[in-house]
């Protein structure tokens, strides 16, 4: 074959550096975005950060929706109403409305970007908290008590070894022989000495720590009660020898084994229920996680509104001083400054695109989930990424990136964008109910059930079917387990 030149026409999507940067910024959380911009400010001399002036709606981008649709909750349609928009309220009034008026009658929408809730008084010294101090955990709490106890250095070494082996629930799974071997390099101790110190630690706060079994843990707590406490003797017999029968809630067998009346048994069971099966958990507080909302949904004058947080789009600008140097700079310096100028413009444009996309997504979510904002989780509508993508005219992948680690503050709480998305289950009238709404209904049904006769999964499915939701028992069991609610048999054990 002879070499030849051929011309071909074809279309190809090319990800330019600017497009790659815009896509990457979409999926960043607010914390990650702050770190990204901090690096950009350090590396690019033409970028500078300007202070946010707090002007309401300074960019003028506002989207308003007339309430032309109806929201459906529990099979009933709620008609939309119109209400005039009034934007002249002060900051304090807006904060009050954010925390109140969640059940107004209007269902119109007015969405805009503002700085309503972004400002805080940095001069108030009472708002500062120590962020460096770690919360005290169970082991620190026990070691503090060990150091206060009148013990020898040898016994304290044994106690410290025991405490280090206790898990977060307060239980000790290591044998005394293993603990003795761990101490061999420091002291030669016997198993009896280890057990003696362990029994002493069991009476530390919280009572029952360093126990190896549930029975031993509950018994240690009961021993701290006065023996004259009503039901104490029977309760101790229960935790020592009849925990399995008690777990099965076999009251008839327990009355026969213990030779007590049902009334006396109920008193003893109530005493057992007052004990803590995981004493260590109360000294292990989870570290608080703080979330800065990216957008706010609030109701004003009967209209749901959405505004972006001012931190969502930091105010970056081009440094005028360095820009003026480009005209009289040498060739290499001018080339460098032009490159930095182009990158700065790309970044500012990408940030603007990110903010606009977030506003569109938050607007579409609130527009679709107005029933949730008005009536709660039971009114959540089925929603998938495709629905939002079609509303705002973007690809599903863009919506997926924008809903990751972005948070919307509402009068009902702060939720990740993804919380508002769930699959649908068919209803008898041909509609659909979201999985979130069904879970909320299951939680409410279980919360209202009679403790002595908890509802089974089949009974829950029948009740949901009666309410018009076609759901099987296996689906109810799946949703119940997702809510971390035990089965009816387990719920009836200590009823």
**pLDDT at residue 320, rounded to an integer:** 83
Token pair belonging to 139: 């082991």
The answer to whether 470 touches 427, Cβ cutoff 8 Å, is yes
**pLDDT at residue 64, rounded to an integer:** 40
Contacts 24+ apart (CB under 8 A), 203-207: 204/142, 204/145, 204/146, 205/141, 205/145, 206/170, 206/276, 206/279, 206/280, 206/282, 206/283, 207/276, 207/279
What do you get for the CA distance between the two ends of the chain, in Å? Answer: 88
**pLDDT at residue 80, rounded to an integer:** 32
Tokens 């240690």, residue? 220
The answer to whether 175 touches 161, Cβ cutoff 8 Å, is no
Residue spans per domain, the chain: 62-117+293-376+410-417, 138-283, 422-491
**pLDDT at residue 14, rounded to an integer:** 63
CA proximity to 426, closest of 370, 382, 462, 480: 382
SS3 content of the chain, % helix, strand, coil (to 5): 50, 10, 40
**pLDDT at residue 90, rounded to an integer:** 41
Looking at every residue in the chain, the average pLDDT score rounds to 78
Q: How far is CA 95 from the centre of its chain?
A: 23
Residue numbers in the chain where pLDDT is lower than 50: 54-132
Q: Prior bond to 370 cis, omega within 30?
A: no
Answer CATH for 422-491 from 3.30.420.40, 1.20.58.340, 1.10.10.60, 3.20.20.140: 1.10.10.60
Could you say which DSSP state residue 469 is in? B
What length does the chain have?
Answer: 495
Question: What is the percent of the chain where pLDDT is above 70?
Answer: 78
**pLDDT at residue 288, rounded to an integer:** 63
Distance CA 372, CA 382 (A): 11
What DSSP element (H or E) covers 407? Answer: strand 407-410
Q: Number of helices (H) and strands (E), helices first, in the chain?
A: 21, 12
Distance CA 33, CA 290 (A): 16
pLDDT tens for residues 464-485? Answer: 888 888 888 898 888 888 888 8
Alpha helices in 314-369, H assignment, sequence order: 320-325, 331-368
**pLDDT at residue 134, rounded to an integer:** 60
**pLDDT at residue 160, rounded to an integer:** 92
CA proximity to 212, closest of 155, 242, 170, 273: 170
* DSSP codes joined into one string, 8-70: ---------HHHHHHHHHHT--HHHHHHHHHHHHHH-TTEEEPPP---TTTT--EEEE---S-
pLDDT tens for residues 20-53? Answer: 878 888 888 888 888 888 898 898 888 888 765 5
**pLDDT at residue 93, rounded to an integer:** 45
**pLDDT at residue 188, rounded to an integer:** 86
Q: How far is CA 336 from the centre of its chain?
A: 45
Distance CA 317, CA 40 (A): 12
Distance CA 209, CA 282 (A): 11
């Amino acid at each position: 074959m002879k070499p030849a030149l051929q011309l071909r026409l074809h279309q190809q999507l090319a990800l330019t550096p600017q497009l790659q940067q815009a896509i990457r910024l979409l999926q960043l959380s607010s914390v990650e975005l702050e770190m990204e911009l901090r690096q950009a400010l350090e590396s690019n001399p033409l970028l500078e950060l300007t202070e946010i002036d707090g002007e309401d709606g300074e960019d003028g981008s506002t989207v308003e929706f007339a309430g032309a649709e109806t929201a459906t909750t529990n099979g009933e349609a709620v008609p939309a109403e119109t209400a005039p928009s009034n934007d002249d309220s002060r900051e304090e009034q807006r904060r009050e409305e954010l925390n109140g008026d969640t059940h107004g009658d209007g269902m119109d929408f007015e969405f805009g970007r503002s700085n309503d809730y972004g400002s805080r008084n940095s001069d108030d010294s009472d708002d500062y908290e120590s962020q460096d101090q770690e919360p005290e955990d169970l082991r620190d709490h026990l070691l503090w008590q060990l150091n206060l106890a009148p013990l020898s250095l040898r016994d304290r070494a044994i106690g410290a070894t025991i405490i280090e082996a206790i898990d977060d629930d307060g239980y000790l799974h290591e044998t005394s022989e293993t603990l003795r071997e761990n101490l061999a390099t420091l002291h030669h101790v016997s198993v009896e000495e280890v057990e003696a110190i362990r029994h002493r630690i069991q009476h530390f706060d919280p009572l029952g720590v360093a126990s190896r079994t549930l029975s031993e843990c509950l018994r240690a707590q009961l021993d701290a009660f006065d023996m004259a406490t009503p039901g104490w003797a029977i309760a101790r017999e229960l935790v020592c020898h009849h925990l399995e029968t008690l777990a099965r809630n076999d009251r008839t067998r327990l009355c026969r084994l213990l030779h007590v009346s049902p009334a006396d048994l109920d008193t003893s069971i109530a005493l057992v229920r007052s004990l803590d099966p995981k004493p260590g958990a109360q000294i292990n507080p989870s570290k608080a996680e703080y979330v800065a909302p990216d957008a706010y949904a609030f109701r004003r004058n009967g209209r749901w509104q959405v505004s972006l947080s001012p931190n969502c789009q930091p105010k970056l600008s081009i440094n005028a001083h360095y820009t003026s140097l480009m005209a009289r700079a040498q060739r290499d310096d001018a080339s460098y400054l032009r490159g930095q100028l182009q990158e700065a413009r790309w970044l500012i444009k990408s940030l603007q695109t990110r903010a606009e996309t977030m506003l569109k997504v938050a607007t579409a979510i609130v527009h679709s989930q107005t029933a949730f904002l008005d009536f709660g989780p039971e009114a959540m509508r089925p929603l998938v990424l495709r629905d939002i993508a079609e509303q705002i005219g973007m690809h599903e992948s863009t919506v997926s990136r924008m809903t990751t680690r972005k948070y919307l503050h509402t009068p009902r709480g702060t939720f990740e964008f993804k919380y508002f998305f769930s699959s649908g289950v068919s209803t008898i009238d041909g509609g659909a109910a979201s999985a979130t709404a069904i879970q909320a209904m299951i939680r409410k049904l279980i919360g209202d059930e009679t403790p002595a006769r908890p509802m089974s999964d089949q009974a829950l499915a029948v009740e949901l079917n009666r309410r018009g939701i076609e759901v099987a028992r296996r689906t109810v069991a799946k949703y119940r387990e997702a809510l971390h609610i035990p089965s009816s048999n387990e719920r009836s054990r200590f009823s």
